[in-house]
Amino acid sequence: MTGRGMSDTTALFTDAVDHYVQHRMAYPTDLIDVLIARFGIGPGTKVIDVGCGPGLLALPFARTGAEVLAIDPNGPMLEAGRTAAEAAGLTIDFQVRKAEDLDAADGPARLVTFGRSFHWTERERVLSLLEQVVEPDGGIAVIHEDLDQKAGTPTGQVIEAMKRDWIPDDLHRRNRAGHAEVLAASPFCKVERMVGSVPRIWTADQVLGQLLSTSYFNPGRLGDRRAAFEADLRARLARVAPEGVFEENLGLLALVATRPTG
pLDDT, tens digit (0-9, with 9 covering 90-100), for 206-219: 999 999 999 889 99
- Nearest CA to 135 out of 58, 222, 224, 40 is that of 40
For residue 247, being part of any structural domain is answered with yes
For residue 249, being part of any structural domain is answered with yes
Whole-model pTM: value is: 0.91
- CATH code for position 122: 3.40.50.150
Whether the upstream peptide bond of residue 199 has omega within 30° of 0, thus cis, is: no
Residue of higher predicted confidence among 146 and 259: 259
For residue 87, being part of any structural domain is answered with yes
Q: pLDDT-derived band of residue 145, with 50, 70 and 90 as boundaries? A: confident
- Nearest CA to 74 out of 169, 237, 213 is that of 213
Domain around 175: 14-258
For residue 3, being part of any structural domain is answered with no
The mean pLDDT value for 44-50 works out to 98
Number of domains present in the structure of the chain? 1
For residue 98, being part of any structural domain is answered with yes
Whole-number Å distance between alpha carbons of 245 and 46: 41
For residue 8, being part of any structural domain is answered with no
pLDDT of residue 12: 80
The mean pLDDT value for 160-179 works out to 74
Of the chain, the end-to-end C-alpha distance in Å amounts to: 59
Say if residue 173's pLDDT is above 80: no
